Amino acid sequence: MTKIFTVANQKGGVGKTTTSINLAASLASYGKRVLLVDMDPQGNATMGSGINKSNLNITVLDVLTGEVSTEEAIQRSESGNYDLLPANGDLIAAEVGLLKVKSKESRLRHALTRVKGSYDYIIIDCPPSLSMLTVNSLVSCDSVIVPMQCEYFALEGLSALLDTIQKIGRLLNPKLKVEGILRTMYDPRNSLTNEVTAQLRKHFGDKVYRIAIPRNVRLAEAPSYGLPALAYDKNSKGALAYLGLAGEIIRRAKTAVKPELEMTG
C-alpha cells in the first residue's frame, strides 16, 4: 500500500527540501519505489535531484492544470534512484491559475491517484508558506513529516503548522495526521537543543523520530552537485542519518500493519 508523505513546515530554513531529497534517496536505497513531488516554485528539490529546472518543458504545473498526464511529467533522478515530478518558477502561476479551476484544493490528489499504485512511497516537498500549493500537498497525503530545528521559535512555528493540519483535516482530508517530527541541524552539545527535545518528547511522545539529523557540511554541499548526500558521500554523518530515518519509517510502517495481519491471519 502506497504511503504519501508531505514534508512541511511554514518556517523556512529548517531542512525541508534537504529532508525530501535525502529521504527519497534513502528509501530507494532500501529497494523501495519512490516518487518525489516538487511543489515549491523555487525548484530546489528538482535541482537537488540532478535535473536542471531551467531546461524543463513539462513540470508539475502542467499536471495541476490538466495540460498533460502525470505519467508524461515524471522524470528519473539517476543520482537518487527515484522518480520526480519536477518544478520551476512557472509554478508561481499555479497560485492564480488554481483559483479559477474546479476542485482547486485536490488537483494534486487526483493527479497522484493515476500513478500511486506504481510506488511504495510518494514524498511531497511543499513551499514554506500556507499557499494553494501547500493546501494541495496536505490534501493529497496520508500524513505530514515536520522537520524542525531545536529552538524555541521553532516550537511556535510548529504550533501554527499543527493548527493548519487540523483545519485541513477537518475540512478537506479527514485522514490527515502528523507522521513524525524530525529534529534537523541537531547538536546534542547544545543545552537548548536538549531542552527543546525534552519538550517535544513530553508533548508528542513517539511522534518524535528517534533519529535526528546533525549539522553536516557534506549534507549542505550535496545539492549544489545535484546529488543526494547518499550519492555525494555515503559515509557522511548526514547520509547515514537519513538512512537511519528511512529505516525507522519502514519499521514503523511494518509495526502499524502487524495487528491487522494478525487479525486476518
Residue 98 and residue 93: Cα distance in Å, rounded? 8
Domain interval for residue 109: 3-264
Tell me how many helices (H) and strands (E) the chain has.
12, 7
| Residue of 240, 250, 189 lying closest to 219 (CA atoms) | 240
Average pLDDT for 185-203 = 89
pLDDT in tens, 11-62: 778 899 999 999 999 999 999 999 999 999 999 999 999 999 999 999 999 9
Is the pLDDT reported for residue 77 higher than 80? yes
Give the pLDDT of residue 190.
85
Nearest residue to 8 via CA among 95, 122, 127: 127
What's the confidence (pLDDT) of residue 260?
41
pTM for this model (two decimals): 0.93
Write a three-state SS string for 174-202. Answer: CCCEEEEEEEECECCCCHHHHHHHHHHHH
pLDDT at site 95: 74
Mean pLDDT over 161-179 rounds to 93
- Judge whether residue 262 has pLDDT over 70: no
With contact defined as beta carbons under 8 Å apart, do 148 and 8 qualify?
no
Range 245-263 average pLDDT: 74
Q: Which run of H or E residues covers position 76?
A: strand 75-77
Range list of H helices, 119-236? 132-140, 152-171, 191-204, 217-221, 229-232
Report the length, in residues, of the chain.
Answer: 265
- For the cut 60, the answer to whether the pLDDT of residue 263 exceeds it is no
Average pLDDT over residues 93-122: 88
Residue whose cell numbers read 515536520: 146
Res 259: pLDDT = 45
For the stretch 157-161, contacts whose Cβ atoms lie closer than 8 Å and that sit 24 or more positions apart, written own/partner, are: 157/9, 157/10, 157/11, 158/9, 160/10, 161/8, 161/9, 161/10
Alpha helix (H) ranges present in 12-64?
16-29, 44-48, 60-64
CB 107 within 8 A of CB 98: yes
User: Which of 255, 219, 211 is closest to 237 using CA atoms?
Assistant: 219
How many structural domains does the chain have?
Answer: 1
Measured in degrees and rounded to the nearest 5, phi and psi for residue 67 equal -75, -35
**Is the separation of the CB atoms in 37 and 122 below 8 Å?**
yes
Predicted pLDDT of residue 80: 96
Please write the tens of the pLDDT for every residue from 112-152: 999 999 999 999 999 988 889 999 999 999 999 999 988 87
* CA proximity to 148, closest of 242, 5, 12, 4: 12
Q: Select from 196, 199, 162, 197 the least CA-distant residue to 179.
A: 162
Whichever domain contains 25, its CATH number is 3.40.50.300
Query: What's the pLDDT tens digit per position in 196-239?
Result: 899 899 989 999 999 999 999 999 999 999 999 999 999 999 99
Distances (CA, A) of 145 to 184, 210, 249, 261: 12, 13, 10, 25
What is the structure's pLDDT at 257?
57
